Amino acid sequence: MKKVTLFMMILSFLITSCGSIESDAEKLAELQCKAVKLQQKGMSGDTSVLSESKKLAQEAAALAIEFTKKYNSGEDALKFREALQKASQNANCN
């Protein structure tokens, strides 16, 4: 079990460390958008999707923390925030 967990951590690090600022922002924006859409669906009466929404929101929060650490310098942090804002607009999450 420990080997699988370690492997998953390494794989996650490699995947996220190979991405560009724009692709990381798009990944986070999409995940956040999916969580919001499921939450809205749940609020409309389909409560079966609320647990999936919560799971996606937790994944998005973890990814946001990871990217905050990854893009912690002033210039990179600014570029990431701008890319995330643009990606969120493009995701059409209204």
SS3 57: helix
Q: What is the pLDDT of residues 12-64, one digit of tens each?
A: 554 545 569 999 999 999 999 999 998 888 888 888 888 898 999 999 999 99
Let me know if residue 46 belongs to a domain: yes
Q: Could you give the CA distance from residue 83 to residue 46 in angstroms, rounded to a whole number?
A: 32
**1 in a structural domain:** no
Q: How many domains does the chain have?
A: 1
Contact 38, 56 (CB under 8 A): yes
Q: Tokens representing 11?
A: 């794989």
- Enclosing domain of residue 75: 21-90
pTM of the model: 0.72
> For residue 43, is it within any domain?
yes
The pair phi, psi for residue 45, each rounded to 5°, is: 130, -20
